[in-house]
């Protein structure tokens, strides 16, 4: 009997035999390969056709998916299973591994992820939760669904201002807005950046707050932790983290979102809330369902809930995209690095705008290139953005700008006002972003981008802040600016002198009053700069009083003036890091150059002025700041409180002669000066014009010394008597010594500013008439 074998050998009759099952499998494989190939071919053909039609140089977003995602989604459609299932679970598992957290739940959008997170922290079945009316800190620069879920769940959003350099909140602002009813923080990570999360975690831990991280724009960004040199992804620090897979985001599932958490209890809560509040997706489903044997376990509802489930095609697409995340983000980081390198080489860039900065400890996976125009060019933002669009550079606001400006906030948060969030206002009025892209950009494209951005014809419109505006120089400056404005016929209908603002053709002037803040307080000065965002400072302010008071309290007046001056220079220096160059023109007291200061009653004030002069030099030396100082001898004019206790030499002479004329015109005035001594005097109106000129035309290390008209004291007194109609005569105390100046005031002469100076006689006449009118009004009152 022939033996049989368990397998055919080559050459046997059965060696080429194929079973019907084997034939069917082979045909199926060929069919799968065929439709996959056909779909891939069709996809590539259509994309090639689209590419030929594209005329945008730099789109806001590029198509992030390809044939792999299309085929994966087609597989799902062919399977017949569309609703939440194994593909979503596969995507959830991969995402958890990538971000480094134990629990994630996929939903149908990033906004749904935010809604689910807020619903979790307000759910009464969660041991630690918010109650209706509790407050949540949220950035003023945010997306609508960073705020709306709070309102929808009965919470009160407490908006927090942001730092215009990083576009994110700061620890100082979080602490400032904290109230006893704040129970949580909604941290919105903007354009891939965040606050230093080490500070955030210290803050929420110290105050026992819950933390939700809105990470929809920041997938793949890292921040250092408080543990050694370790770092972790944004969205994994807090109790919950939300992510978005919208088309333009770091990876996409068309629409879609993910929420992360750290405990199984929160994981089950999220899965329950995601789908109707039923038990189907709980890890402890069997235990729970056994408690309710009389209810069909398929329809057992143990909590409130929504239907926020994603589709299987979204899960399939996301699984493919997750594998590309690391490569995509490497391109984003490199693209921004190269854009920053090229644009930073151009000096014009530094004069016009700045790029968003990463917070300390943060390694952003940039979502976009955040840009801030410098303050003088804010008025051209919309024109500039239109120009970019016309040249193929798509752009959009930073999220939605200052969200307090949205109409819905006026309806639901009635006590909020956008001007109370100056950092957000900066971003709203001066900010925008362009795409960064998940593919490596060609160097020529980056160079063209920079070329177009810097070719726009920017024209500055400065904002000039005048301190000490209630005093003589400040008043003259205000009158000069107003006169020029009226001559130009450009007075804005919404600005007036009563508001201490004047808008001219190319500038806006802010004349500070005591209502704006105390310049001796650093917080007040900071808020003034945030509110007005100046580009020029005319610093005429000083903290002074009568000579007697200043003599009795030298420590107080020295410290007050040093604080005031230091605050102005310090905040101007700090703000120019994101606002652009700020020029400060400080007006010094003549007395700092007197030959002998030992016998001056206001000696402490003089030393404070000397300190200011030196500090200006040091800021220029160390930081290359455009800070200058100006000084003139014997300035006189109106708007000053004239009395014996002031150091205004000419004004004091005018006061003495007019008072003598009114009290006893037949008696001589005794003047404590030497009649033959010469002095230089300058009408304050002319000094104010020189200061305004110097604002744009002087930027040197040395103090600008402004000379007046040289005249002997005898001639000066005669001129005052003439305009005062005083005939009683005068005598000089020749024992008095005139305190001479130790500098030459002719440095202004070499600059030759085009200023028509007022004759000395006219200036004296004007001042005499003003003082007489002032005394007349006071006597009537």
Residue with tokens 């250092």: 224
Spatial distance between the Cα atoms of 527 and 348, rounded to a whole number of angstroms: 29
Helix (H, G, I), strand (E, B) or coil at 345: coil
Is-contact 241 215, C-beta < 8 A? Answer: yes
How far from 566 is each of 19, 539, 558, CA to CA, in Å? 93, 12, 12
**Is residue 470 flagged as an active site residue?**
no
Half-sphere CA count of 728, side-chain side, radius 13 A? 19
Give the pair of three-digit tokens for residue 242.
Answer: 């939300």
Joined tokens for residue 248 = 């333009």
Task: Strand 231-233: give its sheet, edge to edge.
Answer: 231-233, 222-224, 362-363
User: Regarding beta strands 501-503 and 507-511, do their DSSP bridges make them parallel or antiparallel, or are they unpaired?
Assistant: antiparallel
How do beta strands 222-224 and 231-233 pair? antiparallel
Residue pair 387/457 in contact (Cβ under 8 Å)? The answer is: no
Q: Which of 23, 129, 189, 249 is catalytic?
A: 249
- Written as six digits, the tokens of 542 are 């000083």
* Dist. CA 56–CA 49, nearest whole Å: 15
Q: Please list the alpha-helical segments (H only) found in 471-589.
A: 472-488, 522-532, 547-552, 554-579
Residue listed under structure tokens 């017949």: 80
Of 586, 590, 616, 726, nearest to 662 by C-alpha is 726
Looking at residue 100, the DSSP 8-state letter turns out to be T
Token pair 């003439």 is at which residue? 722
CB 735: neighbour CB atoms within 10 A? Answer: 7
Q: Quick one: tokens of 25?
A: 């499998």
In DSSP terms, 400 is beta-bridged to none
Considering only CA atoms, which of 589, 614, 631 is closest in space to residue 701? Answer: 614
Rounded to 10°, the helix 110-121/144-152 angle is 30
* Nearby residues of 338 by Cβ (< 8 Å), 6 or more positions away: 441, 443, 446
The beta strands (E) that lie in 172-237 are given as 182-188, 210-214, 222-224, 231-233
- The H or E element spanning position 654 is helix 649-663
Question: Residue 426 contacts by C-beta under 8 Å, 6 or more apart in sequence?
Answer: 164, 372, 530, 533, 578, 579
User: Which residues face 135 on adjacent strands?
Assistant: 156, 182
Using CA atoms, how far residue 265 sits from 91, 173, 180, 242, 428, in Å, is: 21, 32, 27, 17, 40
Query: Residue 725 and residue 500: Cα distance in Å, rounded?
Result: 37
Q: How many whole angstroms from its chain centre is CA 228? A: 31
State how far the Cα of 506 lies from the Cα of 520, in Å rounded to an integer.
Answer: 31
Q: Which residues are catalytic, by number? A: 249
């Amino acid at each position: 009997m022939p033996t049989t074998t368990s397998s055919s050998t080559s050459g046997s009759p059965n060696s080429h035999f194929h079973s019907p099952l084997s034939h069917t499998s082979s045909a199926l494989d060929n069919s799968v390969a065929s439709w996959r190939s056909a779909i891939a071919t069709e996809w590539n053909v259509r994309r090639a056709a689209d590419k030929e039609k594209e005329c945008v140089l730099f789109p806001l977003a590029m198509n992030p998916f390809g044939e792999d995602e299309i085929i994966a989604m087609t597989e799902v459609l062919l399977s017949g299973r569309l609703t939440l299932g194994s593909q979503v679970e596969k995507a959830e598992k991969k995402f958890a591994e990538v971000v480094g957290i134990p629990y994630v739940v996929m939903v149908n959008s990033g906004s749904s992820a935010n809604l689910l997170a807020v619903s979790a922290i307000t759910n009464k079945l969660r041991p630690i939760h918010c109650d209706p009316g509790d407050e949540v800190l949220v950035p003023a620069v945010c997306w609508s669904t960073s705020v709306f879920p709070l309102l929808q769940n009965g919470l009160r959003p407490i908006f927090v201002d942001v730092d215009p350099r990083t576009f994110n909140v700061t620890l100082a602002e979080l602490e400032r807005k904290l109230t006893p009813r704040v129970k949580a923080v909604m941290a919105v990570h903007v354009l891939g950046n965040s606050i230093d999360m080490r500070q955030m975690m210290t803050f929420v831990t110290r105050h026992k707050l819950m933390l939700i991280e809105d990470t929809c724009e920041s997938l793949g960004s890292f921040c250092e932790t408080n543990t050694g040199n370790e770092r972790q992804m944004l969205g994994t620090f807090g109790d919950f983290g939300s992510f978005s897979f919208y088309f333009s985001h770091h990876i996409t599932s068309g629409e879609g979102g993910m929420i992360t958490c750290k405990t199984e209890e929160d994981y089950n809560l999220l899965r329950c809330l995601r789908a109707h509040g039923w038990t189907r997706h709980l890890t402890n489903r069997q235990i729970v369902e056994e408690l309710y044997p009389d209810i069909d376990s398929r329809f057992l509802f143990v909590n409130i809930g929504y239907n926020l489930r994603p589709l299987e095609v979204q899960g399939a697409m996301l699984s493919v995209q997750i594998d590309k995340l690391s490569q995509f983000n490497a391109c984003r980081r490199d693209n921004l690095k190269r854009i920053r390198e090229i644009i930073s080489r151009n000096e014009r860039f530094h004069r016009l705008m700045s790029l968003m900065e990463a917070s300390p400890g943060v390694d952003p996976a940039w979502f976009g290139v955040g840009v801030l125009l410098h303050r003088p060019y804010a008025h051209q933002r919309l024109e500039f953005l239109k120009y970019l669009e016309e040249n193929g550079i798509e752009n959009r606001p930073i999220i939605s700008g200052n969200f307090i400006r949205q109409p819905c906030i006026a309806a639901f948060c009635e006590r909020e006002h956008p001007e109370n969030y100056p950092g957000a206002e900066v971003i709203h009025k001066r900010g925008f972003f362009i795409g960064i892209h998940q593919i490596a950009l060609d160097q020529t494209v980056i160079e063209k981008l920079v070329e177009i951005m810097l070719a726009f014809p920017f024209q500055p419109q400065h904002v000039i802040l005048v301190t000490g505006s209630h005093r003589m120089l400040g008043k003259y400056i205000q009158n000069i600016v107003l006169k020029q404005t009226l001559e130009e016929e450009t007075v804005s209908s919404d600005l007036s002198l009563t508001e201490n603002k004047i808008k001219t053709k190319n500038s806006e002037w802010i004349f500070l009053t005591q209502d704006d803040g105390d310049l001796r307080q650093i917080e007040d000065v900071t808020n003034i700069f945030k509110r007005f965002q100046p580009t020029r400072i005319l610093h005429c302010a000083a903290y002074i009083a009568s000579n007697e008071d200043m003599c009795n309290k030298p420590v107080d007046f020295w410290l007050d003036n040093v604080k005031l001056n230091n605050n102005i220079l310090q905040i101007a220096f700090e703000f120019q890091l994101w606002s652009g160059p700020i020029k400060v023109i400080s007006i010094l007291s003549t007395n700092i150059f007197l030959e002998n200061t030992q016998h001056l009653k206001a000696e402490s004030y003089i030393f404070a002025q000397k300190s200011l002069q030196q500090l200006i030099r040091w800021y220029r030396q160390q930081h290359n700041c455009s800070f200058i100082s100006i000084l003139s001898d014997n300035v006189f004019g109106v708007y000053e409180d004239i009395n014996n206790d002031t150091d205004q030499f000419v004004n004091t002479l005018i006061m003495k002669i007019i008072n003598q004329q009114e009290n006893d015109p037949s008696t001589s005035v005794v003047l404590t000066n030497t009649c033959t001594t010469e002095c230089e005097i300058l009408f304050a109106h002319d000094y104010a014009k020189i200061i305004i000129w110097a604002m744009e035309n002087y930027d040197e290390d040395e103090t600008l010394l402004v000379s007046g008209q040289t005249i002997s004291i005898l001639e000066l007194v005669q001129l005052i008597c003439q305009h005062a109609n005083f005939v009683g005569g005068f005598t000089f105390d020749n024992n008095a010594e005139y305190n001479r100046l130790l500098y030459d005031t002719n440095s202004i002469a070499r600059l030759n500013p085009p200023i028509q100076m007022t004759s000395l006689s006219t200036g004296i006449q004007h001042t005499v008439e003003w003082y007489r009118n002032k005394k007349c009004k006071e006597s009537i009152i």
